Amino acid sequence: MDRKKCCDKMMGGGATDGYEVARIAKAPGGCSLCEDFAKKNEAKPVAVMCCEGACLRGEVARRAANIICHELAKDKTVRICLGGAFTKDTGQRGLVRNSGRLIALEGCGVNCSSRMMQGVIEGLTPELIIADRLYEFDRQLFGVDEATSEEIGAWARTVAVKIAATL
């Protein structure tokens, strides 16, 4: 195979295998605070990874995950730092890999957090929860600035309460 075809295939151009290819530079160091957090929370039975999207749906999911993990079910759940888990194989990824129950709280059906983590942990099968199916809102809205912070908070709490009830 010539160099251009090989590179196109590796970088997704013309690829037919259904995968994106990403090259992520290795982190030059770690974060002892993050590692301490992972160690402190490794015995919790439920890990929650979440969409971190900047759209309205992602913001609702992000806030809902925080309400679940830091308020409603803080003794049972650990909130995953998606960026840390995706970009380096340290404590956060270990929490994802080793949890008894892994919830992927997605803002919408694009399922970014679960797809990202499936790219770095082969065979990962999180429990998918699509947040925007759990609350009523104007589905034409996209931006975080298209709803008030109070509305976003109320939607997030609705999602969090529904999920916490399953824990």
Question: What's phi and psi for 101, nearest 5 deg?
Answer: -140, 125
Cα-Cα-Cα-Cα dihedral sign, residues 32, 33, 38, 39? positive
Average pLDDT value for residue range 17-35: 88
| Full residue range of the structural domain in which residue 156 is found | 31-164
In a domain, 56, yes or no: yes
Backbone angles phi, psi at 99, to 5 degrees: -70, 150
pLDDT averaged over every residue in the chain = 91
CA dist 61 and 63 (Å) reads 6
Taking only Cα atoms into account, the Rg of the chain, rounded to an integer number of angstroms, comes to 18
As a whole number, mean pLDDT of residues 121-149 equals 97
CATH at 43: 3.40.50
Token pair of 159 as six digits? 């999602």
Number of domains in the chain: 1
Does the pLDDT at position 157 exceed 80? yes
Percent of residues, the chain, with pLDDT higher than 90: 80
Q: Is the pLDDT of residue 54 over 60?
A: yes
- Give the count of beta carbons closer than 10 Å to the beta carbon of residue 134: 18
What are 85's two structure tokens?
Answer: 């888990």
The pTM (predicted TM-score) of the whole model is 0.87
Amino acid sitting at position 132: D
Residue 23 in domain: no
Is residue 82 a part of any domain in this protein?
A: yes
- Res. 164: pLDDT tops 80: yes
Task: Give 161's Cβ-side CA count (13 Å radius).
Answer: 7
Residue 149 clears pLDDT 90, i.e. is over it: yes
